[in-house]
Amino acid sequence: MERKIKYEMEFPIHVSPSLLYQYISTPSGMSEWYADNVNSRGQLFTFIWEGSEEEAKLLGKKSGERIKFRWLDDEDTDYFFELRIQVDDITKDVSLMITDFAEEDEVEDGKLLWENMISNLKHVLGSV
């Protein structure tokens, strides 16, 4: 299997960190922008898009700050995706930091997908 490449993205979002955290850390919040439906049972999250399902294990979260998952397909790897809220100490600007992995020829597609999903998130939050 080809080694995946880590990439990070930053998206400024004009909303309170506590509200943003609700949308990145709960099944109901993620169902509004990330997937058509999201279910969780303990550490296992099921993401549903147009009839297909993917399962991810919750690796960790810090309330109000970040959430980290690993797709079950990648269970024997170090690959993960993380959504992290960053607040500038001086300006108090809020950004959502995305860390993800993709095969070299799929990094640009992965970034485009995140841009579309974060655009959906901003629309739901009224932060366009």
At residue 5, the pLDDT reads: 95
Along the 128 residues of the chain, how does pLDDT read in single tens digits? 578 999 999 999 999 999 999 999 999 999 999 999 999 999 999 999 998 999 999 999 999 999 999 999 888 889 999 999 999 999 999 999 999 999 999 999 999 999 999 999 999 999 86
Domains by residue range for the chain, with CATH:
4-125 (3.30.530.20)
At residue 1, the pLDDT reads: 57
Which two structure tokens, joined as six digits, stand for 9?
A: 């993205």
Token look-up 């070299």 returns 104
Q: Are 69 and 58 in contact (CB under 8 A)?
A: yes
Q: Whole-model pTM?
A: 0.92
